[in-house]
Amino acid sequence: MWNEFKEFAMRGNVIDLAVGVIMGVAFGAIVNSLVNDVIMPPIGLVLGNVDFSNLFINLSGQPYATLADAQAAGAATINYGVFINAVINFLIVAFVVFLLVKQVNRLQEEEPPPDPTTKDCPYCQMSISLKATRCPHCTSQL
């Protein structure tokens, strides 16, 4: 059983997947920082000093100044500002993945097939060279 697992884990596809997941987590952290630290502050400033990560609906009835205060008190909240940040994160990641796939597809465009070097004999239908004047299979004149 251990050998089977080791064989499975060392396959190229599994290792490629692991590398992809690790890169995805690192990329997610970069995008999260981009959204929270670069994109959302100017948007919040334009909308009147709104901190999206601090927007929430308090379901407990007690007043709390910030989301952190409400969560520290154990209050039930609907964190729609955090959800907005997550949606923006998703849109950025989806757009970057779209651009990446588009570029990979462009780089992997198939080359046109090479010019044929053979043709079929009109009499016996065997494949012969384009330059042949007599079929080597049925000896017909071409």
Q: What is the pLDDT of residues 36-76, one digit of tens each?
A: 788 878 887 887 777 777 888 888 888 888 888 888 988 88
Q: Which CATH superfamily is domain 2-109 in?
A: Large-conductance mechanosensitive channel, MscL; domain 1 (1.10.1200.120)
- The more confidently predicted of residues 28 and 120 is 120
At 47 the pLDDT is 77
Q: pTM value?
A: 0.54
Q: In terms of Cα–Cα distance, which of 102, 101, 140 is closest to 120?
A: 140
Cα distance between the two ends of the chain: 63
Domain residues of the chain, as ranges? 2-109, 114-142
At 132 the pLDDT is 86
Q: What is the pLDDT of residues 79-119, one digit of tens each?
A: 888 898 888 888 887 888 888 888 888 887 777 788 888 89
